[in-house]
Amino acid sequence: MKFETLAIHAGQEPDPNNGAVMTPVYFTSTYMQDGVGKPRQGYEYSRTLNPTRKALQDCLAALEGGNFGLTFSSGLAATDTILRLLNSEDHALAGNDVYGGTFRLFDKVLRRFNLDFTFADTTDPESVADALTPSTRLVWLETPTNPFLRITDIRAVAEIVHAHENKPLLVVDNTFATPYLQRPLELGADIVVHSMTKYLGGHSDVVGGAVIVKDKELADKLYFLQNAVGAVPGPMDCFLVLRGIKTLPLRMERHYENATAIVDFLASHPKVEKVIYPFHASHPQQKVAMRQMKNGGGMISFIIKGGREAAIRVVEATKIFALAESLGGVESLIEVPAAMTHLSVAGSQLEVDPALIRLSVGLEHQEDLIEDIKQALEKA
Ligand code: P1T
């Protein structure tokens, strides 16, 4: 089946009890068993599995071209659970542009458990090869990255990573692209991770995370950790994401159309120093982006002339674009990463330009969005 059909049906059967077409929200923490050690239909306790969650997990696995899906109470809970595959003294190599919270978890929390992290420019596969060490067990990358929208050639990096004697796990955070635009497992990644809070949910009304893999042995280790650690989402959250996913293909097409119109406007604006967008001709990895992504997505970053002060004046002046963290919803958002989502990278090798403004372009009419940015840029 094609992606649009899977987005609506994968993992979702009419309820066997009453034929409900939409997956019911199973508000139950536990399940009656037919005898000791004889659970009905495999359900024992909702930390371990819940039918609403199972429908979402199976749907995500189908969309990413994987065999196994797992969901979590947030994107960071998903990230944390993946990192628990490692042992003390192991090395993880990460991209040098990642969500600020991911960096904070690696640098401020997991280092305390003797995990070693280094950060490299994954847009250059040779830098990845140079940064692998004899103790590297995991390579973590975002593509497009948050917030610079840099693109890594997943296939090229997968070849390098898998040639290493440890066979490190290649993890791709696919939050910005979504499986509609890019399927990392098909390009050689071992694990795909998402903040479902963003495009998958799509309506800024739920926080969640997801992990998708192909390999059964790896899936079993992750299911063990998911249950043993317990950072699982509730059934209502799973329902909201399932509902959001049904319109993912339509939304991603419109996000792209609107973003393209705004990129064209920004590219010729005298107060804009530089526009960053994966499918724009000025993007250094445009070719790779066009090869591995279906379209350029809904995220735009741009550098404003006048530095931090000008950036703050602009984001405080928009009327339709809400000044807020997060992204991927139907509504447009604007923020200054250096002062907001990426505050935790200040002073590190991942430092973000304070004049960089990030847009999450929503589904409003593009003329209204352009008008809004135009009037805000006058305040720069
Ligand atoms: O917020 P949470 O659901 O825990 O997801 C964390 C996360 C992981 N990966 C990427 C690429 C992300 O962008 C995020 C969350 N990002 C924001 C809240 C933000 O505004 O960038």
Residues 256 and 176 occupy one common structural domain: no
Mutate to test the pocket of ligand 1, among 148, 197, 301 (most ligand atoms within 8 A of CB): 197
Question: At which of 245, 266, 289 does a domain end?
Answer: 245
Question: Does the annotation count 173 as an active-site position?
Answer: yes
Number of structural domains found in the chain: 2
What's the predicted TM-score (pTM) here? 0.98
Question: At which of 189, 213, 245 does a domain end?
Answer: 245
pLDDT in tens, 106-135: 999 999 999 999 999 999 999 999 999 999
Q: What is the DSSP string of 154-181?
A: HHHHHHHHHHSTT-PEEEEE-TTTHHHH
Residues 303 and 235 occupy one common structural domain: no
Q: Greatest CA separation found in the chain? A: 73
146 touches ligand 1 (CB under 6 Å): yes
Find the domain containing 285 and state its range.
248-377
Residue 323 near residue 376 (C-beta atoms within 8 A): no
Residue 242 corresponds to which tokens in the numbers above? Answer: 């399932």
pLDDT > 70: what percent of the chain?
100
Q: How many CB atoms lie within 10 A of CB 165?
A: 8
Residues 194 and 314 occupy one common structural domain: no
260 touches ligand 1 (CB under 6 Å): no
Domain with residue 286: its CATH number is 3.90.1150.10
**What phi, psi does 295 have (nearest 5°)?**
-150, 180
> Which positions ≥6 away from 353 have C-beta within 8 Å?
303, 338
Among 31, 43, 99, 277, the one annotated catalytic: 99
148 touches ligand 1 (CB under 6 Å): no
Mutate to test the pocket of ligand 1, among 198, 321, 344 (most ligand atoms within 8 A of CB): 198
Residues 353 and 272 occupy one common structural domain: yes
pLDDT in tens, 330-339: 999 999 999 9
pLDDT in tens, 13-70: 999 899 999 999 999 999 999 999 999 889 999 999 999 999 999 999 999 999 999 9
Residues 188 and 271 occupy one common structural domain: no
- Closest ligand 1 atom to 327 CA: 20
Question: At which of 227, 245, 263 does a domain end?
Answer: 245
Residues 343 and 198 occupy one common structural domain: no
142 touches ligand 1 (CB under 6 Å): yes
Query: 17: exposed, middle or buried (C-beta count within 10 Å: 0-12, 13-18, 19+)?
Result: exposed
